[in-house]
Amino acid sequence: MQKLERSESLTIADVAREAGVSTATVSRVLNGRNTVSKEASERVLKSVERMGYIFPAPASRRGPKPVTHPMGLKHGTIVLICTPTTTQTGQFLLQGVSRAMRERQIDLSVHYMDGDHSQLTPALASGKVDGLILQGSPLSADLTGQLSKLPAVWLLYRGDHTWGDRVQPDHRKVGCMVLNHLAGRFQPPFCCMTYQSRKDAFDYWTERAEAFAQLARINKIDHIVLGHDEVPCVSDEDHAATAHRLVEQFMALTPRPKGLFLAMNDLGCFVADELAHRGVRLMKDVCLIAGDNESAYRPIRPTPITVDIRSVEIGYLSVGVLLARIANPASPRIIQMVEPRLLIP
């Protein structure tokens, strides 16, 4: 068969005329579809060979091109799954996540886990999202089964610790920073208040109190930890009663510590009230370090030292960790720790 010299202007329409078939038939044959008869397929292939026609690569073909996301994502959407919140921490996390998404031109969909947790959005139910950012309690077994196959990053310290990557404050660093701050300004002993450590739970206050006590032991610094028998509070009455018991123990210490660290976030104002009731002047008689600045029940006067866990940065960094997971699905689990800082009034 004589082979014609290929012309740069050849199209599949020319091949179709040569083979006596439609352009759609030529396209099906050249794309490897098996919906064309054997006879028609042979005519097309012989015409292609005779004419020297070269089927262009997909990127150079006419017609609509596949849409690609600037970050290489398939769907261009990431879902934030969280519980409804009005706390500063929740707002700051969302602010950080949103900023990182805008910079990378990724759509953010927020799915609040309220009411019927099985009611997922259509995109989540079908898996047509690129990844998840999660904040809050562990999901139900059913939801975990549905969602754990997606790339995911958990925020803060709560949530499931069996799947997904994580960005969280370094709570052990908090305990160490507090002890170093107190030891640099006052004579020991120092006191830490906490709740009891719960088996199989990931409680930030336990991490903070243990780091505080461990560093004190290593450096032979006099200290005491109160509250190992106290369960976390669920009501204002519980808070008041727990603060009363702990402050009674604190006041009985001899010598009375000049530095007091509350490893938990919810007792600050209640302990401050109890101390004031006993005539203790905050930040004069006792230097109070009272949990996270974002989580205070109500303001304490005078203002104590607080911990900034840097929630905006945690939200922002979670997007980078998620994109790294999407790009490298088989890489080892990522846990990124964000160093907190003390806010000294």
Instruction: Enter the tokens of residue 248.
Output: 């009674």
The answer for residues whose C-beta is within 8 angstroms of residue 260's C-beta and 6 or more apart is 190, 191, 192, 193, 250, 271, 286, 287, 288, 289
Using 50, 70 and 90 to split pLDDT, how confident is the model at 17? Answer: confident
Q: Who wins on pLDDT, 8 or 261?
A: 261
pLDDT at 8 over 70: no
Quick: pLDDT tens for 125-134. Answer: 888 899 999 9
Domain match, 137 and 90 both: yes
Q: What is the CATH number of the domain that holds 131?
A: 3.40.50.2300
The answer for residues whose C-beta is within 8 angstroms of residue 216's C-beta and 6 or more apart is 179, 188, 190, 222, 223
Q: Who wins on pLDDT, 113 or 74?
A: 74
Closest C-alpha to 82, from 315, 309, 266, 292: 315
Quick: pLDDT tens for 243-253. Answer: 999 999 999 99
Residue 175, domain member (yes or no): yes
Domain match, 94 and 213 both: no
Domain match, 183 and 274 both: yes
Q: Which domain holds residue 147?
A: 77-169+312-338
57-66, 179-188, 290-299: which range is least confident on average?
57-66
* Residue 6 confidence (pLDDT): 43
Quick: pLDDT tens for 133-166. Answer: 999 888 888 889 889 999 999 999 989 999 999 9
Q: Who wins on pLDDT, 274 or 62?
A: 274
Residue 37, domain member (yes or no): yes
Using 50, 70 and 90 to split pLDDT, how confident is the model at 2? Answer: very low
Quick: pLDDT tens for 75-120. Answer: 888 999 988 776 889 999 999 999 999 999 898 988 887 655 557 7
- Yes or no: say if 224 and 235 are a contact pair by the CB < 8 Å rule: no
Q: What is the CATH number of the domain that holds 39?
A: 1.10.260.40
Residue 20, domain member (yes or no): yes
pLDDT at 67 over 70: no
Which residue type sits at 42?
E
Domain match, 219 and 319 both: no
pLDDT more than 70, % of the chain:
88
As a whole number of angstroms, the distance between CA 222 and CA 213 comes to 10
Residue 207, domain member (yes or no): yes
How many domains is the chain built from? Answer: 3
Domain match, 186 and 282 both: yes
* Residue 16 confidence (pLDDT): 84
Domain match, 215 and 159 both: no
3 state DSSP class of 311: helix
Domain match, 188 and 283 both: yes
* Residue 27 confidence (pLDDT): 77
Residue that the structure tokens 């009034």 belong to = 345
Quick: pLDDT tens for 255-282. Answer: 999 999 999 999 999 999 999 999 999 9
Instruction: Enter the tokens of residue 271.
Output: 């302990």
Domain match, 213 and 135 both: no
Residue 344, domain member (yes or no): no
Q: Who wins on pLDDT, 71 or 120?
A: 120
Residue 115, domain member (yes or no): yes
Instruction: Provide mean pLDDT across the span 198-206.
Output: 88
Residue 243, domain member (yes or no): yes
List, as one string, the DSSP characters of 108-123.
EEEEE--S-TT---HH
Domain match, 143 and 183 both: no
pLDDT at 61 over 70: no
Residue 345, domain member (yes or no): no
Q: Who wins on pLDDT, 24 or 188?
A: 188
Average pLDDT, the chain: 88
Domain match, 193 and 277 both: yes
Domain match, 282 and 303 both: yes
* Residue 1 confidence (pLDDT): 42
Domain match, 106 and 147 both: yes
pLDDT at 62 over 60: no
pLDDT at 188 over 90: yes
